[in-house]
Amino acid sequence: MTQALSHYLQFNDLTAQDYAYLFSRAAFIKHKFKTYAKHQPLTDRSLAMIFEKASTRTRISFEAGMYQMGGAVVHLTTGDSQLGRAEPIEDSAKVISRMVDLVMIRTYEQTKIERFAANSRVPVINGLTNEFHPCQIMADLFTYIEHRGDVTQPLQCLQGKVVAWVGDGNNMANTWLQAADLLGFKVHVSTPSGYEVDPAVAGIGHASCYRVFRDPLEACQGADLVTTDVWTSMGFEAENETRRQAFAAWCVDQNMMAAAKPDALFMHCLPAHRGEEVQAEVIDGPQSVVWDEAENRMHVQKALMEFLLLGRL
Ligand code: CP
Ligand code: NVA
């Protein structure tokens, strides 16, 4: 059975019901992995991974995940393909999607992945753009559910929760807002001035899913989860020095964690810079779940790839 063509370009490309299924399925797939039980629904299927930016976690989680499910992977970068030599994205999409069953892309503007998807015969997955990082937020939510909820009723524990976002109004922040809008929790956002989230870019329907705080400590008050990201995202390296100064007070420290709920978790999509966006005591401390968060990329993405190719099983 083959699923009708659907892409995963933004978090809200799937419904709350789809996420409920995917989180339960990810738990099932993770259990198989942990018990060395084979789970190979994608035998003879292949995934092309296109990286226009660097990656550790996204590459290994998709690549290992696809092999574990019985499939194969082709890895392309801008430097070693015609993508870096100005072949139109539409032509690349038409060619690549005739030879594989799935495509994952990490690139710059969201419009680029949209143009690729519009010309693709197979599902396209967003592995990070300037605007969004949906696979990461799926992993983050799954990690929260594992620690604070119940994977048999995965969405319940998210209702009404508060996520404190401390830092840049970037791809991660935008995706947190979409997730909050869709799944019924709130984001307390604190960014330096000039680096605010833009609800139009985030593509959220209800502004009620987030609240803005000037002071990062205030944003963390009563939060169930505190999370942050690098001060300078990939593609913005020229702004490094200006950002270093602007973001100096947006370092998640022990005071911020103490302002959050006593059972609050800390997350970071990684890579992290200790002493910049987060203190070592926090990321390496007892409330941090960053290693589970990184591992869970693989389990949720295996569930996602299976879902896009085979539907609900
Ligand atoms: N979190 C994340 O996407 O990591 P990589 O940049 O290493 O893929
Ligand atoms: N916001 C970061 C996330 C890295 C996984 C970036 O885009 O570089």
Q: Which residue has the tokens 């590459």?
A: 59
Structural domains for the chain: 11-133+296-310 (3.40.50.1370), 135-293 (3.40.50.1370)
Q: Where are the beta strands (DSSP E) in the chain?
A: 46-51, 72-77, 102-106, 124-126, 162-166, 186-190, 210-212, 225-228, 265-268
**Which pLDDT band holds residue 254 (cuts at 50, 70, 90)?**
very high
What percentage of residues in the chain have a pLDDT greater than 70? 99
Phi, psi dihedral angles at 71 (to 5 degrees) = -100, -170
Q: What are phi and psi of 103, to 5 degrees?
A: -130, 135
Q: Which residue has the tokens 């594992």?
A: 146
Confidence of residue 206 (pLDDT cuts 50, 70, 90): confident
Residue whose CB lies within 8 A of the most ligand 2 atoms, among 269, 277, 278, for a mutation test = 269
Query: Does 232 score more than 60 pLDDT?
Result: yes
Cα 142 to ligand 1 centroid, rounded to whole Å: 17
Taking only the tens place, the pLDDT of each residue in 27-48 is 999 999 999 999 999 999 999 9
- Name the active-site residue from 136, 178, 279, 301: 136
User: Which-ligand-closest: CA of 61?
Assistant: 1
Rounded Cα–Cα distance for residues 29 and 39 (Å): 7
- DSSP code string of 120-171: -SS-EEES--SS--HHHHHHHHHHHHHHHS-TTSTTGGGTT-EEEEES--SH
82 is catalytic: no
Give the position, in ligand 2's atom list, of the atom nearest the Cα of 232: 8
| pLDDT the model gives residue 247 | 98
Q: How many angstroms is it from 57 CA to the middle of ligand 1?
A: 4
pLDDT in tens, 181-191: 999 999 999 99
Give the three-state DSSP class for 293: helix
- Rounded to the nearest angstrom, the distance between the alpha carbon of 1 and the centre of ligand 1 is 32
Half-sphere exposure of 152 (CA within 13 A, CB side): 0
- CA–centroid distance for 284 within its chain: 21
Provide the pLDDT for residue 1.
46
Confidence of residue 175 (pLDDT cuts 50, 70, 90): very high
C-alpha 52 – ligand 1 centre gap (Å): 13
**Cβ within 8 Å of residue 9, ≥6 positions away:** 110, 113, 114, 117, 124, 126, 132, 134
Q: Provide the pLDDT confidence category of residue 6 given band limits of 50, 70 and 90.
A: very high
Kindly give the number of the ligand 2 atom that is closest to the alpha carbon of 234: 8
Tell whether ligand 1 has an atom less than 6 A from the beta carbon of residue 58. Answer: yes
Q: What is the model's pLDDT at position 3?
A: 57
Which residue out of 106, 188, 268, 299 is catalytically annotated? Answer: 106
Active site residue 269: yes
Question: For residue 4, is pLDDT > 70?
Answer: no
Does residue 161 register a pLDDT over 80?
Answer: yes
Q: Does 3 participate in catalysis according to the annotation? A: no
Calculate the alpha carbon distances from 8 to 28, 236, 280 in Å: 21, 24, 34
- What DSSP letter does each residue of 168-185 carry, written as one string? --SHHHHHHHHHHHHHT-
Percentage of the chain modeled with pLDDT above 90: 95
- Phi/psi for 174 (5° steps) reads -55, -40
The CA distance from 281 to 266, in Å, is 11
